[in-house]
């Protein structure tokens, strides 16, 4: 049985149909990546789950029962546009949110320690960097020890180190038994830490699958661009490698496509040859590509 089950969700904003009969099911204890381009309807879906806006049609069930006001109070939420109270300190913000949830007085301290905020409790939030604020935002979502976390683009706009930190934290939370539903418009973010993904485009769920099955099914190829000596001879070499697909010369570089798992083998062969490789660019499959593929499939 799924932990969070959404069926036939519909929502419009005037003429914009933001969600068109969207289904989703999140299993207990997993990290679910909710993937889609900007404007697809991710934020709208998550807001409806949190009861921040109403849907025109559809059901949301949590643990088999229609979701209630009380249930929502127990879900941890991180909005896409996180905004805390800038003129108040980290400590005051934490205490404020704790009191609203009716938590123990020791809760802010516990969370501050876990989220590396302990040394900056007296700093005003407006003086903090985006990364630290995001940590505080995540800490805020964990107030009251919720079982389900709903995080809207938790890694977007962060520098790589903080992004890494957030992803590790999500894995850590999963290992502690939490269920995490998070959205992203970047495939790479989702691939790394998700158990399952749901792909949304134009308010419709295109597919919902385990991440490994999805990559297989879509046969997603990386695009490699090599700057190399003696391009024309090198091209012949690349052509002789069976798993390197559609090799050609573009702007004096060699371009070819290959399956993710064959990438390293192919590169080894090329580097081992006499042609000196000056630069390698690896282009991960574009999310747009996936959407196009999936949309073609569903039509």
Ligand X SMILES: Nc1ncnc2c1ncn2[C@@H]1O[C@H](COP(=O)(O)OP(=O)(O)O)[C@@H](O)[C@H]1O
Q: Contact with ligand X (CB under 6 A): which of 30, 44, 196, 255?
A: 44
Determine which residue in the list 16, 53, 281, 292 makes contact with another protein, applying CB under 8 A: 53
Q: Beta strands of the chain (E only): which ranges?
A: 4-13, 16-26, 31-35, 57-62, 65-66, 76-78, 148-151, 179-184, 196-201, 204-210, 221-228, 245-250, 253-259, 277-283
Find which of ligand X, Mg ion, another protein, none residue 70 binds, CB within 5 to 8 Å per kind: another protein
Rounded to a whole number of angstroms, the minimum distance from the CB of residue 287 to another protein is: 24
User: Please, which residue, 24 or 151, has the CB nearer to another protein?
Assistant: 151
What character string, x for contact with ligand X (CB under 6 A) and - otherwise, covers 100-129? ------------------------------
Which of Mg ion, another protein, ligand X, none binds 16 (CB below 5-8 Å, type-dependent)?
Answer: ligand X
For residues 113 and 121, give the distance between their C-alpha atoms in angstroms, rounded to a whole number.
10
- Burial class from Cβ neighbours inside 10 Å (0-12, 13-18, 19+) for residue 124 reads middle
**Given 4, 9, 30, 42, the residue binding ligand X (CB under 6 A):** 42
Site membership for ligand X, residue 16 (CB under 6 A): yes
**What three-state secondary structure class fits 200?**
strand
In Å, the largest CA–CA distance within the chain is 71
Alpha carbon distances (Å) from 201 to 20, 51, 165: 10, 22, 28
Contact indicator for 259, 285 with CB cutoff of 8 Å: no
Smallest gap from Cβ 34 to Mg ion, in A, equals: 10
Here the tokens at position 131 are 């990364």
39 binds ligand X (CB under 6 A): yes
* Contact with another protein (CB under 8 A) among 10, 28, 50, 146: 50
Q: By the criterion CB under 6 A, which residues form the site for ligand X?
A: 13, 16, 18, 36, 38-44
Q: By the criterion CB under 8 A, which residues form the site for another protein?
A: 13, 47, 50-53, 69-70, 72-75, 77, 79, 81-85, 87-88, 92, 96-97, 99-102, 140
């Amino acid at each position: 049985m799924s932990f969070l089950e959404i069926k036939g969700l519909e929502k419009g904003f005037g003429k914009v149909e933001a969600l068109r009969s969207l289904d989703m099911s999140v299993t207990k204890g997993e990290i679910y990546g909710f993937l889609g381009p900007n404007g697809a309807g991710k934020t709208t879906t998550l807001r409806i789950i949190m009861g921040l806006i109403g849907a025109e049609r559809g059901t949301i069930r949590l643990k088999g029962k229609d979701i209630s006001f009380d249930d929502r109070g127990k879900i941890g939420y991180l909005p896409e546009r996180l905004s805390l109270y800038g003129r108040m300190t980290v400590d005051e913000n934490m205490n404020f949110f704790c009191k609203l949830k009716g938590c123990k007085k020791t809760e802010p301290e516990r969370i501050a320690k876990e989220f590396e905020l302990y040394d900056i409790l007296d700093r005003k939030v407006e003086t903090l960097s985006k990364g630290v604020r995001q940590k505080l935002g995540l800490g805020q979502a964990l107030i009251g020890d919720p079982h389900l976390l709903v995080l809207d683009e938790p890694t977007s706009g962060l520098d790589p180190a903080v992004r890494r930190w957030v992803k590790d934290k999500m894995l850590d939370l999963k290992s502690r038994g939490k269920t995490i539903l998070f959205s992203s418009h970047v495939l790479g973010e989702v691939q790394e830490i998700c158990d399952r993904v749901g792909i949304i485009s134009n308010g419709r769920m295109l597919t919902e699958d385990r991440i490994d099955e999805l990559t297989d099914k879509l046969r997603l190829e990386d695009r490699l661009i090599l700057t190399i000596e003696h391009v024309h001879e090198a091209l012949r070499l690349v052509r002789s490698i069976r798993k390197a697909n559609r090799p050609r010369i573009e702007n004096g570089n060699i371009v070819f496509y290959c399956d993710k798992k064959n990438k390293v083998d192919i590169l080894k062969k090329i580097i081992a040859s006499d042609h000196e490789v000056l630069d390698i660019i690896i282009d991960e499959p574009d999310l747009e590509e996936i959407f196009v593929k999936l949309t073609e499939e569903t039509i």
